[in-house]
Structure 1
């Protein structure tokens, strides 16, 4: 295994091999080498990317394709809490510590332009240890609100309604503020208002966030550039821009 410290990926490869190889077929071995530049512990899905790469490598080597539901279970067994990156064709509500799909929304998320950024000051360090971070314990009001947001998100996905999706993201950010608060949220809300952003999304087990914009808005470039300047003005300098689905 190279690099040797990527033990989650190694565990995933072992588990996938056990599933792929029929009993009595004999021992199977190999060398797994992982390369990539996804930042660690930020909310970018670095460990899930490694785990899935390992599982897919085993699939290819043994010519034994696995159902995506099985891959999800392997990922959770390998890393305790997994992102839902294995579900490539649609958007899902995923129980990240059980490896089960709660709801498949049937379509991918509406396409948006994202002005991403690191939410914490550089002198505070970067990253959150997802496994060590205690899962949030939501109160009854938050659980009820999540149920409402689930309905809204379903409508946003089916109707390709980017404004409604932005509202869901902002509401989720407000809920998360009690559990993993990000600094300067009031200032970020002001940037949303001043630039006409759809909303703000934050990682629930990381330190990254993003302002969401309508990709098809004729003024999207100007709005994004103004957003960059306003983020700089409140001390946020680590930024990146991308369009979902690209």
Structure 2
């Protein structure tokens, strides 16, 4: 076994030519800004809010003997996934000691594009996993992250699963493992900006005096929130980070969103720092949770903000009685095919 691979699953034929992969999405960021690594190198970093459910599924059929760059993708608009497939093919061929080849990639999923939920990274990671599976391999998260950054330019940390990480998205490396799980929270999701996609590559980061100290402070606060399972502190971090990011995004609904959180007993708000998806965070242990969720949904509707879905940061929300009335679909025009 090399540093790039994990053991092949029992019973997997190493000579197979068809592979499958899947990757989930996230719901925007809890924290995003500029942070120092262990060597005091300053880099972009983020902590995403995991969300189970929507995601991308990939199937890859290898064509041994075909040119290595001869990869087709359906839908043909998924150019980042195609690039990831070519990179993963070369990686896996080298691990197997064989010549790289081409193949056919098919992507399906239910993720909206451009709302800041990691749709392109989900495509890319699902693709990398499918290509590796077609070789009878499972690549390590570090390898998948390296390939994803090469394919996208910047990547979300979906390859590492739901645990909270401070991740350098432009370098594909983990700056800090914050813990095993975020504090428990119920999130009422919504879409700002009329659910319209955002061109993330067009966004320009603005850094002002005091920002680096502010981000370092929020990092320490989040570390404490995770260690103590402190949902209220989690809300304070995500709200402060969202407010800092408004210099770039300028959501006209941000003040209304914050007002709804304050008036319904929520602990804070979170937004996608490169998109329009947002959420209002509640502590599941607080009294009157169900009433707060209902008031929140009604208040969002009054403000013309589209509620999307209610979800949790932990595995099973059943004991909370999270009601189905808070779950709707995102704007059809933003949905993926």
Instruction: State the TM bucket, normalised to the shorter chain.
Output: over 0.9
CA shift, 1:63, in A, is 1.7
One of 211, 235, 240 as aligned partner of 1:166: 235
Q: How many residues are paired up?
A: 242
**1:235 is aligned to 2:304:** yes
CA shift, 1:180, in A, is 1.1
- Please name the residue that 2:246 is paired with: 177
Q: Tell me, in whole angstroms, the C-alpha distance in 2 between the residues paired with 1:12 and 1:75.
A: 7
**1:129 is aligned to 2:199:** yes
One of 109, 113, 117 as aligned partner of 1:40: 113
One of 62, 68, 79 as aligned partner of 2:152: 79
Residue 99 and residue 27 in structure 1: after superposition, are their counterparts in 2 closer, same or farther (change >3 A)?
closer
Q: TM-score, normalised by structure 2?
A: 0.69
CA shift, 1:89, in A, is 5.4
8 Å Cα contact 2:203/2:248 also seen in 1: no
Normalized per residue, which structure has more helix? 1
**1:117 is aligned to 2:190:** yes
Normalized per residue, which structure has more strand? 2
- Please name the residue that 1:244 is paired with: 313
Q: Tell me, in whole angstroms, the C-alpha distance in 2 between the residues paired with 1:40 and 1:184.
A: 20
8 Å Cα contact 1:81/1:131 also seen in 2: no
Q: Which runs of 4+ in 1 moved over 3 A?
A: none
Q: Tell me, in whole angstroms, the C-alpha distance in 1 between the residues paired with 2:148 and 2:248.
A: 25
Q: TM-score, normalised by structure 1?
A: 0.93
**1:31 is aligned to 2:100:** no
Gaps of at least 5 residues in structure 2 are 1-72, 316-337
- Please name the residue that 1:12 is paired with: 84
CA shift, 1:238, in A, is 4.0
Gaps of at least 5 residues in structure 1 are none
CA shift, 1:183, in A, is 1.0
Q: Tell me, in whole angstroms, the C-alpha distance in 1 between the residues paired with 2:136 and 2:112.
A: 31
Q: Tell me, in whole angstroms, the C-alpha distance in 1 between the residues paired with 2:101 and 2:258.
A: 54
- Please name the residue that 1:2 is paired with: 74
After superposition, the CA RMSD in angstroms is 1.6
Q: Secondary structure at the match of 1:32?
A: strand
CA shift, 1:139, in A, is 1.9
8 Å Cα contact 1:42/1:126 also seen in 2: yes
- Please name the residue that 1:138 is paired with: 207
